[in-house]
Amino acid sequence: MSNSEIVDSALAMQGKSESSNGGSDGNAAETFLVEKDKKLSESVIWSLLEQYYDSASISAWNEIPFYPTSNPFIADTYAQLIVSFLRDYFEKLDLSKPVYIVEMAAGSGCFSFYLLKELKRKIEFFSSLKQIDLRYIMADFTANNVRSWMSSEKLRPFAESGMLSFGIFRPETDRKIVRCKLSDDKNDSPSAYSDEEVLLAAGMSPNPVIAIANYFFDSIKNDAFQIHNGLLKEVRQTFHCVRDSEQPNQIKFDRLIKAEQIHDASYDYYDDARFNRVLNNYSRQFENASILFPWGALNCIANLFEMSGDNLLLISSDKGFNDKTYIEGRREQPFLPHHGIFSYSVNYDAIGRFFRELGGISMNTSDDNLSVSTAVNLLVKNSGDGNSSFEELSYCFDQWVDRQNTCNYLYFIQDLLTEIQPKKGDNASEILRACLGYIQLCNYDPIVFCLAAPRIYMALETINVLQEKRLLEIIERVNDNFYSVQQQYDVFYWIGRIYYGLNRLDDALRAFSDSMLTFGSSSSTTYYVAACYEVRKDYETALRYYEDTLAMEPSCPFTQDGLKRVRAIIKP
């Protein structure tokens, strides 16, 4: 179910039928009141967003961007961070108990696959780390997503080895993760599961829990505050919705109009004193400020503290900020719908303050101009003297996450890659080397391979023996990294094209077969299947595939020429 199909449950519950014009102009769009003067964290928008994710399940990721935090190169960086932390803390680990990694809102499952691969590969280099019983839990609040992971062929080897489990977890409210049932059930809430099915809860391991939150905190509850001349104010929300003539009583995020109301706020606003300390910290620092307060994220962290016994490493990447310029001054917090959903920027500054107030460590990327911010926050027992006890982790974050920031910059360079026109000629060999190097830098990312493949194909005439050997190795690793989610990148088609260009026809036909099985038939794929059979002099089969191609794209001159050639041979 799409966002546009979500029924206006808020109006039904509250019995509101109030409507108004959007302005004094008689032609202005008609609007209706969704809610008035609400705390942001109590707004109906959050439950509607949750309904969308529950209904759309894994298909949501065909529309919603997730690639910047779900690719092989960011997974490589996370694996380095985790290995660095485990090496720093190894002497304090209880090796008779597991170390749990919990990925919250694991979404498409793509990042989990890449991180599991990288962790397994990297740990093999350290005899000490091979002693650790590492347990990875992919978790989400909706069993629909979790069951899709359970059926994944790519994830199955990790599950069968005992390294990977699949759990139901609503981090804002739950303090345990329960194993997901494979069969459907009318009640998928944690209370529906027995204690024997608990994957992680308080007291299950004395070791730190490693939690991952990618593109998650931006989609859970926030509150809004302002500071007026040193005084804390609460910002409440009123939402109207522009009425859709075809679905007049349904709320659509891209039709919402927000207004803010300012109220006095007490300095003990929250029941949790730890949250109030962060809020009051802002009041002491700023004379005038606008604070997007990550109430949902802090609740998640508080529950993880409970589950881990205050032993937590949190790694998170999201659209967010850490610089005080995003807080200074009074302004409205924008409501930004996109791709049928909405999200708010993550206040990583507040999350860092939360950890530091409790004696923890906070590390954040320093450039807030980038698409994705990354934060590592740490609170563990027996940690010694702050950062000095986590030298490898601190170095890894500074060198790879903040200074080089491959998570962002390798992603940005993709735009430059698409500007390089595929061409033959003197510089084809240089373009080939650059493309192969970039794919390797991106940890054999299938999407990067698809972007580079047209340039590689055009340069195949200049390829030497060593380059061909390296290209074949890269193709094997790219193929192994394929995790099917987004349908616009047909990696098997491009693998087939390059095999065809190298005259490796059996390999090409296998790749084209994988393309058709995974992405469905296309005129491009069937054309090259026909071409393979024509080169092999199997003209009857080539004729059949050329005819299939022509049926899909009747005006293609290449297909028409192929048909003429083959028919001329079959019927001279």
Concatenating the DSSP letter of every residue in 240-253 gives EEEPPSSSTT---G
Which residue would you say has higher pLDDT here, 528 or 405?
Answer: 528
pLDDT computed for residue 410 by the predictor: 77
Query: What is the phi/psi pair of residue 140, to 5°?
Result: -155, 165
Strands 176-179 and 198-201: antiparallel
Per-residue pLDDT reduced to its tens digit, 209-247: 999 999 999 999 999 999 999 999 999 999 999 998 888
Residue 40 has pLDDT above 70, yes or no: yes
Instruction: Specify whether the backbone of 346 is left (phi greater than 0), alpha (psi in -120 to 50) or beta.
Output: beta
Residue 499 has pLDDT above 80, yes or no: yes
Average pLDDT over residues 187-208: 74
pLDDT computed for residue 53 by the predictor: 85
Per-residue pLDDT reduced to its tens digit, 119-142: 999 999 999 999 999 999 999 998
pLDDT computed for residue 65 by the predictor: 72
pLDDT computed for residue 19 by the predictor: 43
pLDDT computed for residue 478 by the predictor: 97
Which residue would you say has higher pLDDT here, 55 or 419?
Answer: 55
What is the model's pTM?
A: 0.90
What is the C-alpha separation between 29 and 43, in angstroms, rounded?
23
- The residues, any chain, with a CB within 8 Å of residue 339's CB and separated by 6 or more, are 63, 64, 65
pLDDT computed for residue 5 by the predictor: 32
pLDDT computed for residue 192 by the predictor: 47
Cross-strand pairs, 376: 315, 363
Q: Other C-beta atoms within 10 Å of 381: how many?
A: 11
How large a percentage of the chain has pLDDT more than 90?
A: 73
Per-residue pLDDT reduced to its tens digit, 345-389: 999 999 999 999 999 999 999 987 788 999 999 999 765 555 558
pLDDT computed for residue 181 by the predictor: 80
pLDDT computed for residue 384 by the predictor: 55
pLDDT computed for residue 538 by the predictor: 96
Q: What does the chain come to in residues?
A: 572
How large a percentage of the chain has pLDDT more than 70?
A: 88
- The residues, any chain, with a CB within 8 Å of residue 164's CB and separated by 6 or more, are 112, 116, 136, 137, 138, 155, 158
Mean pLDDT value across the chain: 88
What's 27-64 look like in SS3?
Answer: CCCEEEEEEEEEEHHHCHHHHHHHHHHHHHHHHHHHCC
Which residue would you say has higher pLDDT here, 24 or 567?
Answer: 567
pLDDT computed for residue 7 by the predictor: 28
In the numeric block, the tokens 């080539």 are attached to: 542
Residue 443 has pLDDT above 70, yes or no: yes
